[in-house]
Amino acid sequence: MQHRFKPSRLAWLIALALSGVQAQESTVMLGEVTVNSGQTGTLPTRRILTSVDVMGAERVQEKNVANSWELIGQMPGIQLTEFRLGAESGKPSFRAFNGEGYINGIKLLIDGVPSNVNSGNMRYFDMLFPLDIDYVEVVRGTNDPRYGLHNIGGNINVATRQGGNYSDARLTVGSFNTQEVQAAVGRESGGFAQNYFVAKRDSDGYRDHARSEQYSLGGKWFYTSDGGDLKAGVIARLSNQEAKSPGYMTAAELGADRFQSAARNANDHDSRDMRQLSGHVDYQIAPDLAYSGKLYYNSIEDDRYVTYTGYAGSNAARQRRLWNEEHVGWMNTLTWQASQKVAIEGGFNYERQDNRYRRYRYAYAVPTDFSTPASTSNDDSHTLDNFGAYVQAVIKPAEAWKIVPAIRTDSFKGHTTLNTSGQSYPLQDYGWINQPKLSVVYSPSPAFSLYGNWGRTFQIVTGSRSPAYLTSGTASLTPSINTGIELGTKFRLAERTEARIAVWQQEATDEVANLPSANATQNLGETRRKGIDFQVTTHLGDKFKLWFSHAYQEAKVVGGYASGGSSLVGKEVFSTPRHITNLGLEYQASDSLRFDLQGRAQGSYYIDDQNAKGKYGAYVLFDSGVHYALSKHFGLDLEVKNLFDRKYEYVWYDNFFYPASAYQPMFSPGAGRAFYLSLNMKM
C-alpha cells in the first residue's frame, strides 16, 4: 500500500489551520517547560529547527520506571525496544530506525554532551533518574547540523536540573520487591549555583533471576557573572549497576511460564560502571556575539556474561563480553546576531574514542560455566577520532518567513589492534562527509505555520573489526548517505488545542545492519523510510488535559545487495513496526487530587530480513496514576503499570548460534500488572 501526499490534502490542512487562533512555529511542548538559557550561548533548538518535541518535568519526575529511557515512550512516534536482560535493558528510537542494536540511528545527548557508546547504543541513558530531569528535547529528521556521528534520524537531548533553590526527594516501593530513593538538592546564591543528586534502586525484577541493584550520583557547579555575560561550570555524574539476567526464552518456554528463567541462564549477569565529567562555558563576547563550549569525558566499563540460546551443539551462544570505552571531546559554537533578520551560527567538535572490546566463548553447560573460556573471539583495542564542523544561518526575510540553510562536514581517523596477534589496521577512509541542509517555516498568521526541511546525514560502520577497519581482505566502504525530506504544519484550532501533522521520507545509500558486539554485519543496500506523524493536545476547561499521537512508518529495502543469494528488495527492514500510537488523559479533580491515564500501542514487525518468519511484538498497554497532595511539601502517588495485565514481549530471530535448520524466534516478555506507591517531598 502506497501513501502519497496530494496537493489537495495540503490545501485542506492550510484551510483547517487558518481557522484557528494561535500557534508557535513548529515546536510542540508536552507539559510545562521552562528552558532557561540566560543571555549567552547558542540559538535555542526551537528557534532554528522544525520537527521538535519538548517534554517537561511534570511529565517526567512523577513517573516510576525501571530505566529512564522508558520515559521517552510518552512522546509521539517513539519506538521502545525492551530487551530487559539485566543492565542491557533497551532504548528508544524513532523515524523507523529500530532499537535492535543493528542500526543505531539516534544521537543521545545529556546536558548537550554526546552520550552514545561506540556502537551507537544509549547505555549512558541509564545513569539518569526521573527526579533529576528538567526536560527532554527530541529533534526528528535530517536537518540538524549540530551533530554528526549517530545523528542519522535525529537526536534526543536530556537536560537535567540546573540552578534554583529546592530540596526534593521521592521514596518508592512496589511490585517485584522494588525499593527506590531519589534525592535532589539545588542551591543558588550570589551567582553561584550548585545542584546535587543521589538515587538508589533495587528490584527483584518481574522474572526469575532478574535481581538488579543500581545507584547514581551527580553534582553540578556553575558560576554566573554579575552582568550575566559569563556562565561557566562543571557537571559530574557516576553510576553503577549489578544485575542478573534472566535470558531469552524459546516459544515453548514462554508458553510454559512467561516469567521463568531457564537453567542455562543461571550464571548470566552484568556489572556496569559509567562516568561522565564535563565543563561548560557560555560567554557573551559582545551584544551580538556569543560563544559556547563544552569539554567532556565519558567512561564505561561493562562486564557482561550472557547465554543466548539452549542449543546443545553450539558453544558460540555462551559469551563473556567486556567493554572499556573512554571518549574525550570538545564542542565549540560561535553565534553572531548580524541583524534583526539574520543570525549566523558556526561550530566544530572533536571527539577521541579509546576503546577496548573483549569477547570470550564457553563450552556448552547447563547452567553455563563461565570459569574457563573455550576460545577468544575478540581482544581488540580500537580508536575512533571524529572532527566535525558546521555553519547555519537563520534568515527572516519577512515577518512570516524563516529560512535556515546549513552545511556540516565530518571526517574520521583511527586504527584497531588485534591484541591476540599484535596486528594493527587503519579505519576505513571515508574522506570528508559533506551534509547540506535546509529548513523553511512559513507562518502567515499566529494560528498557523507550515514548515519543510531537507537534509543529509550519514552512517559509518562502528565496532573493532572488519568492515569498520581495513583488516586483511576487507573491501573499502563509502559512508551510507541518508537524504531526508519533510513537510508539516502546526496549528491551533482553539485557544488551548494544538496539533501538528508531518509527512516525511528518508532514503539511504548502502545502509548496513551492524552488530559490533557479535561481529555481525549485513549490507542492506538502498533503503527508504517514510511516514506520517500526527499529534494533538487539548485542554477541556481547567480540569482536563488530553493528548493523542499516531505515527505511521515504513522502512523498506529498495535496491542493492542480496542476503544468502536472495534479494532483499521490497522487504521491510526487520524489527520496525508500522505504527506507534500514544494517548493520555489527565483530570485535576481538585487542588490536591489528580488522576491520569496513558495508553501506548505498537504494531507488529518482521523479525528476519527476508520477512519470512512471521510478525511479532504488537501490544496495547495502559498505565494509570493517582496523585494526592497531603500538604504543600508532601504528596503521594499511586501508579499502576500495565493496568489490564496485557501479555507482550520483545522478539528477535536467532540465526546466529544454531544450524539453519534450528533457527527460531526468541522472546523477552514484558512485565505484567504492577503497583508502585511513592512519597514525594518538596522543600
pLDDT digit string (tens) for 48-104? 677 889 999 888 999 999 999 999 999 999 999 999 999 999 999 999 998 887 888
pLDDT score, position 19: 35
- Is the preceding peptide bond at 444 cis, omega within 30 degrees of 0? no
pLDDT score, position 516: 87
In this model, does residue 195 exceed pLDDT 80? Answer: yes
Identify the CA nearest to 498 among candidates 538, 534, 548.
Answer: 538
pLDDT score, position 561: 66
Q: Can you point out the beta strands (E) in 414-462?
A: 415-418, 423-426, 433-445, 448-459
Beta bridge partners of 307: 318
> pTM of this prediction?
0.94
Identify the CA nearest to 145 among candidates 503, 458, 397, 479.
Answer: 458
Q: Can you point out the beta strands (E) in 245-341?
A: 269-286, 289-307, 318-336
pLDDT tens digit sequence for 385-414: 999 999 999 999 999 999 999 999 999 999
Amino acid (one-letter) located at 608: D
pLDDT tens digit sequence for 643-679: 999 999 999 998 876 677 778 999 999 999 999 999 9
Share of the chain above pLDDT 90, in %: 81
* Range 142-154 average pLDDT: 96
Q: When comparing pLDDT for 250 and 14, which is higher? A: 250
pLDDT tens digit sequence for 206-258: 999 999 999 999 999 999 999 999 999 999 999 999 999 999 999 999 999 99
Q: What is the DSSP string of 171-223?
A: EEEETTTEEEEEEEEEEEETTEEEEEEEEEEEE--SSTT--EEEEEEEEEEEE
**Considering only 60-74, 100-114, 307-321, which range has the smallest mean pLDDT?**
307-321
- Is the preceding peptide bond at 659 cis, omega within 30 degrees of 0? no
Secondary structure of residue 553 in the 3-state scheme:
strand
Helices (H), 230-272: 251-256
Amino acid (one-letter) located at 100: E
* Contact predicate 640/625, CB 8 Å: yes
Mean of the per-residue pLDDT values of the chain? 91
* Contact predicate 159/111, CB 8 Å: yes
d(CA 143, CA 153): 9
Give residue 42's region: left, alpha or beta (phi > 0; psi -120 to 50).
Answer: beta
How does DSSP classify residue 241? E
pLDDT score, position 18: 34
pLDDT tens digit sequence for 613-637: 999 999 999 999 999 999 999 999 9
In this model, does residue 23 exceed pLDDT 60? Answer: no
Pairing state between β 52-56 and 28-30: parallel
- Third-level CATH fold of 7-682: Maltoporin; Chain A (2.40.170)
Identify the CA nearest to 86 among candidates 239, 258, 238, 210.
Answer: 210
Identify the CA nearest to 414 among candidates 441, 366, 363, 380.
Answer: 380
Determine whether 454 is exposed, middle or buried from the number of CB atoms within 10 Å of its CB (0-12, 13-18, 19+): middle
Secondary structure of residue 68 in the 3-state scheme:
helix
Amino acid (one-letter) located at 650: Y
* Range 464-468 average pLDDT: 94
pLDDT score, position 22: 35
Identify the CA nearest to 656 among candidates 403, 259, 298, 319.
Answer: 319
What is the helix, strand, coil percentage profile of the chain, to 5? 5, 55, 35
Secondary structure of residue 535 in the 3-state scheme:
strand
pLDDT score, position 8: 35
Cβ count near 495 (within 10 Å): 10
